[in-house]
Amino acid sequence: MAKNPVRVLVTGAAGQIGYAIVPMIARGVMLGPDQPVILHMLGIEPAAEALNGVKMELIDAAFPLLKGVVATTDAQEACKDVNIAIMVGGFPRKEGMERKDVMSKNVSIYKAQASALEKHAASDVKVLVVANPANTNALILKEYAPKIPEKNITCLTRLDHNRALGQISEKLNVHVGDVKNVIIWGNHSSTQYPDVNHATVTTSSEEKPVRELVANDQWLNIEFITTVQQRGAAIIKARKLSSALSAASSACDHIRDWVLGTPKGTWVSMGVYSDGSYGIQKGLIYSFPVTCEKGQWSIVQGLKIDEFSRGKLDATAKELIEEKSLAYSCLN
Amino acid sequence: MAKQPARILVTGAAGQIGYALVPMIARGIMLGADQPVILHLLDIPPAAEALNGVKMELVDAAFPLLKGVVATTDVVEACTGVNIAVMVGGFPRKEGMERKDVMTKNVSIYRSQASALEKHAAPNCKVLVVANPANTNALILKEFAPSIPEKNITCLTRLDHNRALGQVSERLNVQVSDVKNVIIWGNHSSSQYPDVNHATVKTPSGEKGVRELVADDAWLNGEFISTVQQRGAAIIKARKLSSALSAASSACDHIRDWVLGTPEGTWVSMGVYSDGSYDVPPGLIFSFPVTCQHGEWKIVQGLSIDEFSRKKLNATAEELGEEKALAYSCLS
């Protein structure tokens, strides 16, 4: 085990997603089976005892790759020297809360955490925001951590991307590992646009377009889209709890592909700082198709966008612009 | 991915341990990164919707190694063709319940599941019982599945083994991966005996005895033992929930080492059918030190047992004898 350990921060670590993700990280799912890790877990004061319970379990599991655990309610200690930051902690929407209330709470959290990360994390820290509203929390984080390169601040839409792959694989009765290059455009919300126009299935002979194989545009343009958009709610309805397992797993995929690179001929979806590509306003955290190499993502350029898709891309951008204004109004 | 998928059953799959365990299995932690798997998930009808939610999340996570998911409340469907069975489902102790009540409930569950496994599982199915009382549930399963080779029915004490490694590593401030060859003797209960008399630590100057390095027999014979014995309760106190993460992870370790073999010079602890080794009464499921090779476990023979240890081994064997009698009385 020659590699130096990598420090990985998980905020909201005493919660459901935290509990699912930390054993995945400790087993090398996030960074590879030869990469030792040190986990930094941050929780709020009321969760301190539960957080310590998670630390105890991590010790009890005797993970060979896990070289240390820092469990703390202190943001500075949590952020110190971390190379990767998974921001799972946030204020959940409770019954009776208005959108503005949720936004207001989360904007203050992400403003404060931005500051701690900027001051104490490793200078090239890679940040993944999971807590909703993910795109806007990431944007706030970016605005208040100007020293962190904007390309290092992302949000999770890999869950939606993986959900889209899963829906296609079920529809076509193929293995999900043979489906690729769906795209999630935009906001990790119900305005996201799951786009299969460039997606393919690897059959025994070749790669075939999903749209051709499904041969049901009606389904692809309506039911498929709404199923993926509303999958989070469907999981809550079935489990009475939100999707921790799949969110944690997808967060590992997001980081792994970012750090270790995407396979040749394959792209993934990540919420990244928009640069004007595909006519999307600059200055949003927007989900795009990206490839990753040498620890950097780059937006896949030149994909054809038909009229139907154009409408969808613009609608989700519009929602993100509104969220951005709402967030800024909460800060004043 | 040339290998045929292995079918793995998890009972009680809609519960906490199930939720932690299934993504680990789907990522190859149990059987290796190149072994495709098909998950069979069983739970009781009241949990059917939650179980389906778990299946949905497994589909959503787009695991490359996961070649199928069977989620069912039908024990025959669940058991059909399975190569590995991890029995997590059982009746939990509720407030006000007597030991006899818990035993009665679990004895009926394991009796009927024994029957289904025997009839429908793949030949040479390997069974790991996790649900408490683990040793006695495994014994009942064995008694009522006579065509399953007794060597294929085990119970989980790897969690206690890993907890013991963790406690030693913390005490000595060394990496847990440098500690090995603790032993958990006996029952997965508070009468278990965590024994470090043959445990070692890898140091720059070679492998040294744990007892020698700790140099504190009072601690090793007192607090260390009770900490490991009562760790489950300590986790519940901190988390308000029992240890799912570490139990799931240890279950993966148990199966992986059983199937793929233990490293040279290293043994692990498994609850296995006693053959009289170390003067433990035959016919109990008792935790012993074992090595594994070619898919078979073998009790490590010839370890010296001092007087202190002898008493501990006898005490936990006695408790298992009592549990066996209680279980049989529940069946009559």
- The shortest C-alpha distance from B30 to chain A (Å) reads 11
Tokens of A214: 């499904």
Residue of B nearest to A52 (CA): B238
- Calculate what percentage of chain A has a pLDDT beyond 70: 99
pLDDT digits (tens, 9 = 90+) for B161-178: 999 999 999 999 999 999
Sign of CA dihedral B41, B43, B47, B48: positive
User: How do B268-273 and B285-293 pair as beta strands?
Assistant: antiparallel
Placement of tokens 């309760």 in the chain = B233
Tokens of B211: 């007892």
Assess A48–B contact: CB distance below 8 Å, yes or no.
Answer: no
Angle of helix B99-120 relative to helix B307-331, nearest 10 degrees? 80
Q: Is the bond preceding A133 in cis, omega lying within 30 degrees of 0?
A: yes
Of B50, B170, B176, the CB nearest to A239: B50
Q: How far apart are CA B88 and CA A112, in angstroms?
A: 42
Number of Cα atoms under 13 Å in the Cβ half of residue B272? 25
A59/B240 CB distance under 8 A: no
Burial of B313 (0-12, 13-18, 19+ CB in 10 A): buried
Predicted pLDDT of residue B15 = 96
CATH number of B6-155: 3.40.50.720
Q: Is A7 annotated as a binding residue?
A: no
Residue of B nearest to A177 (CA): B64
Question: Coil, strand or helix: which one is A139?
Answer: helix
Burial of B127 (0-12, 13-18, 19+ CB in 10 A): buried
Predicted pLDDT of residue B45 = 97
Question: Rounded mean pLDDT of chain B?
Answer: 96
Positions of chain A with pLDDT under 50: 1
pTM here is: 0.97
pLDDT digits (tens, 9 = 90+) for B183-204: 999 999 999 999 999 999 999 9
> Between residues 213 and 272 of chain B, which touch chain A (CB distance below 8 Å)?
231, 234-235, 237-240, 243-246, 248-250, 253
Residue B93 pLDDT > 80, yes or no?
Answer: no
Residue B1 pLDDT > 60, yes or no?
Answer: no
Predicted pLDDT of residue B97 = 78
A61/B60 CB distance under 8 A: no
Placement of tokens 């490839």 in the chain = A291
Predicted pLDDT of residue A93 = 74
- Is residue B223 very low, low, confident or very high in pLDDT (cuts 50, 70, 90)? very high
Q: How far apart are CA B175 and CA B172, in angstroms?
A: 9
Predicted pLDDT of residue B18 = 98
Q: Is B16 annotated as a binding residue?
A: yes
Which contiguous run of DSSP H or E holds residue A155?
Answer: strand A153-155
pLDDT digits (tens, 9 = 90+) for B12-62: 999 999 999 999 999 999 999 999 999 999 999 999 999 999 999 999 999
Assess A27–B contact: CB distance below 8 Å, yes or no.
Answer: yes
A176/B64 CB distance under 8 A: yes
Quick one: CATH architecture of A157-327?
Alpha-Beta Complex (3.90)
Nearest to B29 by CA among B244, B251, B246: B251
A245/B23 CB distance under 8 A: yes
Residue of A nearest to B23 (CA): A245
Of B59, B60, B162, the CB nearest to A61: B162
Predicted pLDDT of residue B92 = 80
Residue of B nearest to A20 (CA): B20
Size of interface A-B (CB pairs under 8 A): 139
Q: How far apart are CA B163 and CA A2, in angstroms?
A: 26
Predicted pLDDT of residue A97 = 79
Cα dist from B163 to A6, B243, B245, whole Å: 24, 12, 13
Domains of chain A, by residue range, sit at 6-155, 157-327
> Between residues 146 and 175 of chain A, which touch chain B (CB distance below 8 Å)?
159, 162-163, 165-166, 169-170, 175
Q: Is A215 annotated as a binding residue?
A: no
Contact B241, B108 (CB under 8 A): no
Assess B2–A contact: CB distance below 8 Å, yes or no.
Answer: no
DSSP code of B90? -
Predicted pLDDT of residue A164 = 98
User: How do B126-129 and B179-180 pair as beta strands?
Assistant: unpaired
In chain B, residues under CATH classification 3.90.110.10 are 157-327
pLDDT digits (tens, 9 = 90+) for B247-270: 999 999 999 999 999 999 999 999
- Is residue B95 very low, low, confident or very high in pLDDT (cuts 50, 70, 90)? confident
Question: Rounded mean pLDDT of chain A?
Answer: 96
- Is residue B103 very low, low, confident or very high in pLDDT (cuts 50, 70, 90)? confident
- Is domain A6-155 classified as CATH 3.40.50.300? no
- Calculate what percentage of chain B has a pLDDT beyond 90: 94
Tokens of B84: 């590995």
Identify from B49, B60, B159, B231 which residue to disrupt to test chain A contact, counting A C-beta atoms within 10 A and taking the largest count: B60
Number of Cα atoms under 13 Å in the Cβ half of residue A103? 19
> Between residues 80 and 99 of chain B, which touch chain A (CB distance below 8 Å)?
none
pLDDT digits (tens, 9 = 90+) for B63-73: 999 999 999 99
Predicted pLDDT of residue B280 = 98
Q: How far apart are CA A127 and CA A141, in angstroms?
A: 9
Given the residues A120, A188, A198, A254, select the one marked as catalytic. A188
Q: How far apart are CA A288 and CA A277, in angstroms?
A: 9
Q: How far apart are CA B114 and CA B27, in angstroms?
A: 28
Q: How far apart are CA A201 and CA A207, in angstroms?
A: 5
User: Which one is the CATH code of B157-327: 3.40.1790.10, 3.90.110.10, 2.60.40.3620, 1.25.40.320?
Assistant: 3.90.110.10
Which contiguous run of DSSP H or E holds residue A85?
Answer: strand A84-87
Predicted pLDDT of residue B102 = 84
In chain B, residues under CATH classification 3.40.50.720 are 6-155
